[in-house]
A and B are shown apart, each in its own frame.
Chain A
Amino acid sequence: MAAQLPEADAQVPSIALAPAGAELERPRRGWLRQLDVLVPGTIIAFLLFLFFVWPIIGPVGKPTGGNILNANIQPWSPGHIFGTDPVGNDIWSRILYGGRNSIEIAFSVQFIGLVLGGAVGAIAAYWGGVVDMVLMRVLDVLIAFPALVLALAIAESLGPSKSHTILALCFFSVPAFARISRAATLRLRERPFMLAARLSGTGTGRILLRHITPNVLPQLVTFALLGMGVIIILEGALSFFGLGVPPPNPSWGNMIFEGQGILSAEPRLVLVPSAFLFITVLSFNLLGDALRSRWSSV
């Protein structure tokens, strides 16, 4: 999982590259300074509401089983804000249900990655020695293994479905989290407070739980947030090959794939899911970035 965003908010350099005596403008009020978290956070909250709550309480049509007679209705028509697709499904409801699918998948993948990968990495780093070497080799294999092959294989043998997509994508996320967790734990291991804990006889399990976890967790959480975008995009990519959420269930990926063919004629079939994809990924990236710059100095 490559796209770990580096810090955008690096502090201003300590030597005076600006004219001597120049002051830095920083908003003083409390909530203004929290804007970098509040704006993406609000957008995400809104999107979550839109995808998970609105279809239940609001007037949203069905995402599948459309009538071919309703095909290709143009946007802003009554009942179909974004129009319909070539098979007659309402695009707006497909966007919402597709969004739900994408976020469910991405969240599950990141959660499993964080828990499993984080644990494996921390254990490998803490125990060191043979355990570390073996686990690292296994991780290397997983990383070098073309996960696409695996995804395809899983899709072919088990049939494409949401849970299988999650399984395939975990092959990306678990090793990535393990790498981060291992690096963080290694750094932690040499700190004086760790030595103190070990010397005072604290058991390994307790150390892992009380000392390592709280220190490594913030990094893993920001990594998880930053990775949400990557996973959502990847899931879309899998859909391209028919490996993600199986049609007729919508996912932004398969909507884009289906719209590809008639890009010139009906660009909205690609543009609308792309726009939602973009905004969602951007929001997660912004949130993850903002949290990371807050927690990195801890």
Chain B
Amino acid sequence: MPFAIAGFGCGLIFGIGLVISGMTQPAKVLGFLDVFGAWDATLAFVMAGALAVSSIGYALARRRGRPLLAPAHLWPTRKDIDAQLVIGAALFGIGWGLVGLCPGPALVNLASLSPAIALFVASMAAGMIAQDIWRRRAPSVGEVEDAALATGADG
């Protein structure tokens, strides 16, 4: 139970951060990605603020040895830059650029009760499910990370 409460609290703070930063608004994210138009650099400030705090927090967590509520930190272990990473990041980049939504802001926006947001989240879930089914049927592709999918992925 404390584990779930910690999850809820962190999700809450994360979501508040997304709303305050303005990054739940797809139009504002597209404004950052539109470097050839009227560029809105806000997303860079959001990244800077996030990285300043998270890098210090991660360094402290590492020094402390183990998390408060679990036996060990589940740091991602992979180091190689493979074709899967490149292709996956590129596909995600196209989807992100088409609408201006990535998973976090999409989920926060569910609170708006917008049918368009619900459609996006349902499509995103369908894409994830389809990808996992396909990966299981074609074990030659990416079978190494399949076992560690839920915990060994980078994020």
A binds B: no
Residues of B within 8 A of A (CB): none
Which A positions have Cβ atoms within 8 angstroms of B?
Answer: none
